[in-house]
Amino acid sequence: FAGYISQVLKNYTDHACDGEYVSLRCPHRTTISIQSSFYGRIVPSHQLCPSRYPHSYATLIKEDVACSVGTSLQKMLDECQDRRSCQFLVNSRLFGMDPCPGTGKYLLVWYKCRPNEYKSKVACEDDKLRLSCKKSMVIAIYSAIFGRTQGGSLECPYQNLGMPMTECQSATALQLMIKRCHGKRSCSIYASTYEFGDPCYPGIQKHLNVIYTCDNTPLLLPVDETQPPVLSSSSSMEPVGVSTEMALLSNILAAYAFITENPERAALYFVSGVCIGLVLTLLALVLRVSCRTD
């Protein structure tokens, strides 16, 4: 679970030169979310993506290092957005008109892995934000913003108090939300400058916007078989019957948790079991009657 969350929260970067394949991939139950993209050249070829052909010094001087394509972001959104993986060949024809013919270019992509199912909650400044998940599920924070975004928030409309409409965000909002809510069934926090600090000018109204998902918790912890069992004085004197009863109790609790989480499947299993029992009983009666007749 921790590995899954670290992969989701990580910011990925990938690049490919002209004539190479770029490949983006996200872990299971997540999809690609393109953050930014660049196609062109802003550094000399001897620093990134050198030319496949030998160049003289005079040719390198004429190389265009202020070349970019404005359609690279839209192209990446069309090719990879909301997919688990994507791969394609990088070349200038893919992005439309070539702004610098004769100059070798490259593609840079910044992306994150977004959960397939996620929730979003907003709390205005000085209000309490509450997050919760169902039983046997825990919170996984995807993003958190405290401050004022350029577009504002429908839940917290901007009131013009003579202050300019500027964008300002706390740099520690995500880390604080992970610390408070990561791996818990429920949590609450005030959207206040006391918790997050004040990233904006005095008088600017702020809000807290959190995107999260609920993930299943493992029923049993993994056992490290390489470590020898630790025996204490109390455990060595424990009767064998007690461990058997505890195992039976854990099995009962596991079965109860499965039934509460999957009522339709449990009902299907129950009806199927009853039907199979009736069929077996009917076969036994038929065999008994036929044997008596013989």
User: Which pLDDT belongs to residue 239?
Assistant: 39
End-to-end CA distance of the chain: 64
User: What is the arithmetic mean of pLDDT over 279-287?
Assistant: 89
User: Which pLDDT belongs to residue 260?
Assistant: 58
CATH class for domain 1-115? Answer: mainly beta
Task: Report the distance separating Cα 287 and Cα 294, nearest Å.
Answer: 11
User: Which pLDDT belongs to residue 160?
Assistant: 56
Report the SS3 class of residue 247. Answer: helix
Q: Could you tell me the residue ranges of all domains in the chain?
A: 1-115, 119-215
User: What is the arithmetic mean of pLDDT over 201-212?
Assistant: 84
Task: Report the distance separating Cα 213 and Cα 163, nearest Å.
Answer: 35
Residue 261 has pLDDT above 80, yes or no: no
Task: Report the distance separating Cα 137 and Cα 181, nearest Å.
Answer: 12
Distances in Å between the alpha carbon of 16 and those of 48, 64, 73, 191, 205?
Answer: 10, 18, 15, 41, 42
| CA dihedral (162, 127, 10, 88) positive or negative | negative
Q: What is the pLDDT of residues 94-148, one digit of tens each?
A: 888 888 888 888 999 998 887 777 788 889 888 999 998 888 888 888 788 898 8
Q: Could you tell me the pLDDT band of residue 189, with boundaries at 50, 70 and 90?
A: very high
For the whole prediction, is pTM greater than 0.85? no
Fold agreement (1-115, 119-215): yes
For residue 38, which phi and psi values (nearest 5 degrees)?
A: -145, 135
Listed in sequence order, the residues at least 6 apart from 148 whose beta carbon sits closer than 8 Å to its beta carbon are 158, 165, 166, 167, 168, 169, 200, 204, 205, 206, 207
Give yes or no for a contact between 105 and 92, defined as CB atoms under 8 angstroms apart.
yes
Distances in Å between the alpha carbon of 240 and those of 37, 225, 229, 243?
Answer: 63, 21, 16, 6
Give yes or no for a contact between 118 and 142, defined as CB atoms under 8 angstroms apart.
yes
Task: Report the distance separating Cα 292 and Cα 282, nearest Å.
Answer: 16
Q: Is residue 170 classed exposed, middle or buried when 0-12, 13-18 and 19+ CB atoms within 10 A define those classes?
A: buried
The pair of structure tokens assigned to 283 is: 């076969």
Q: What is the pLDDT of residues 219-250, one digit of tens each?
A: 333 333 333 333 333 333 333 343 444 455 44
Task: Report the distance separating Cα 92 and Cα 104, nearest Å.
Answer: 9
What is the CATH number assigned to the segment(s) 119-215? 2.60.120.740
User: What's the length of the chain?
Assistant: 294
